[in-house]
Amino acid sequence: MEKGRLKAAQILVVDDDARVAAALAEMLRLDGNQVDIAVNGNAALEKLRERTYDVILSDMRMPGLDGPGLYRELELRHPALARRFIACSADVLQPSVQTFLEQTGVPCMGKPFTMNQVRWAVTSVAQA
């Protein structure tokens, strides 16, 4: 195993933009990870009823249950997994996103992101 890289992880990508979700999933699969996709926080919670994940990467703004709402549900239902949550947002400077990040300490990847940023974020969170 390459230094700083994990063995294959079970990862859930949560994003309502199918193109973004597919691109992120492909990046993660190139490193041998098992990746599932959910279109919003409610769909992510449904997937969590079926299985567990090592890392969750979630968009912040989605219809239905958004990223902050999903994180709050994880805190209640799956506290250990809440510590393995990565926010993804094109709006990192938006006050509501900033407030959420400051209150939770959740790592955030700004969109667009590079393969190296994705690898670093997943590795950092999964090894924590």
The number of angstroms, rounded, from the C-alpha of 2 to the middle of its chain's C-alpha atoms is 23
Within 8 A by CB and 6+ apart from 23, the residues are: none
Where does the chain show beta strands of DSSP type E?
10-14, 34-38, 55-59, 85-89, 108-110
The predicted model scores a pTM of: 0.90
Is residue 3 scored above 70 in pLDDT? no
Within 8 A by CB and 6+ apart from 11, the residues are: 28, 33, 34, 35, 36, 53, 54, 55, 56, 57, 122
- Rounded CA gap, 14 and 19, in Å? 12
Is residue 56 scored above 90 in pLDDT? yes
Q: pLDDT (tens digit, 9 = 90+) per residue, 60-117?
A: 999 999 999 999 999 999 999 999 999 998 876 678 888 898 999 999 988 888 889 9
Backbone angles phi, psi at 114, to 5 degrees: -100, 165
Domains with residue ranges and CATH for the chain: 10-127 (3.40.50.2300)
Mean pLDDT over all residues of the chain?
Answer: 89
